[in-house]
Amino acid sequence: MVDLEWSQAIELPRVASSATKPSEARRSWVHRAPEEQVLALYHAASASGGPMPAPWWLRAMAAGTLLSREDGFRVEDRIHQLLTRRPGWEFVPWAADGESGYWEFMPSEGGNTGNRIPTTVLTTDRHTGWIDVLPAYSVTSPAPIAVAGLAGLRARLGEFEAVR
């Protein structure tokens, strides 16, 4: 029964699929319910041992590496502010179940390189910089590049945008 409850807790309404920024996609129960309740349900649902679909910030909170959901929202919003000021970046609100959206650099798709998947910026709980970049590719997904926070992303954007 807990698995069903968790599934409903992370389910996004259809309106979220047309979101143009992360804050517009935060419509599920995990985004609005009291943090203590969200964490308690997450712990109960993940007690079975398998990986649970969940937003990156919730996994980080459960691991004790992120203090609050609001801190996670702030990371997403700052990435969005940085990338949308630059031409070619688009926010994609539909991600894997429970995950936050991500950003794609559209000029890196096709073009001279022939890449079929554009450079992608994702939020992550893999490290405390909270940002991963997947370089553009065609066949096999490359290993994510860990970025040292917003300052690291800002410093390396030229490098990431060079693939066209």
- For residue range 79-102, list pLDDT tens digits in order: 999 999 999 999 999 877 788 899
Task: Give the pLDDT confidence score for residue 113 in this predicted structure.
Answer: 75
What average pLDDT does range 22-38 have in this prediction? 94
Task: Give the pLDDT confidence score for residue 15 in this predicted structure.
Answer: 65
> Hunting for tokens 């000021």 — which residue is that?
85
Task: Give the pLDDT confidence score for residue 20 in this predicted structure.
Answer: 93
How far is the C-alpha of 129 from the C-alpha of 123, rounded, in Å?
9
Task: Give the pLDDT confidence score for residue 99 in this predicted structure.
Answer: 86
What average pLDDT does range 48-64 have in this prediction? 91
How far is the C-alpha of 111 from the C-alpha of 105, rounded, in Å?
12
Computed over every residue of the chain, the mean pLDDT equals 92
pLDDT tens for 100-157 read 899 999 999 887 778 899 999 999 999 999 999 999 999 899 999 999 999 999 999 9
Nearest partner of 163 among 103, 116, 118, judged by Cα: 118
What average pLDDT does range 68-89 have in this prediction? 98
Percent of the chain with pLDDT over 90: 71
How far is the C-alpha of 107 from the C-alpha of 99, rounded, in Å?
24
Q: What are phi and psi of 97, to 5 degrees?
A: -45, 130
> Model-level pTM greater than 0.95?
no
How far is the C-alpha of 29 from the C-alpha of 36, rounded, in Å?
12
Helix (H) or strand (E) holding 7: helix 2-10
